[in-house]
Amino acid sequence: MAIKNNQINYIEFKGTDLEKIKTFYNLVFGWRFTDYGPNYIAFSESGVEGGFERTEDVIVNSVLVVMYHQELDAIKSKIIAAKGKVSKDIFSFPGGRRFHFLDPSGNELAVWSDK
């Protein structure tokens, strides 16, 4: 299936102990994991791709919905024009780049691109 602009593509959770997270979701649901260093794991076999980012903070908003768009700068400009706020500017990671934004209610989402 081709990746499409403006659709939810990835869901990211926070976790305080990634080893326990991997064990739990693998035993209960059969999810598979890929380690990306000590602070991030990606999961598959869940119906949607996603990951867990390690944190020591108290988890308040535990899910980050990640959408895809080929043109990060263009969609970022559109978000700002619509009164959204960039909460984490564009950064690189293995496999692409992304940024985070807040919608008018303060919900944080992200947009990524492999370009």
Same domain, 14 and 51: yes
pLDDT at 1: 66
In this structure, are residues 91 and 99 in contact, taking their beta carbons and an 8 Å threshold? yes
Same domain, 14 and 57: yes
Query: What total of structural domains would you count in the chain?
Result: 2
Q: What is the pLDDT of residues 11-39, one digit of tens each?
A: 999 888 999 999 988 997 899 999 999 99
- Bridge-based pairing of strands 50-54 and 8-15 is parallel
Q: What is the pTM of this model?
A: 0.72
Domain range for 103: 69-115
Same domain, 33 and 55: yes
Across 63-81, average pLDDT: 92
**For residue 82, what is the domain's CATH number?**
3.10.180.10
Q: What is the pLDDT of residues 43-71, one digit of tens each?
A: 999 888 999 999 888 877 678 889 899 99
In Å, how far from its chain's centre is CA 69? 13
Same domain, 98 and 57: no
Residue 67: strand pairing partners: 8, 111
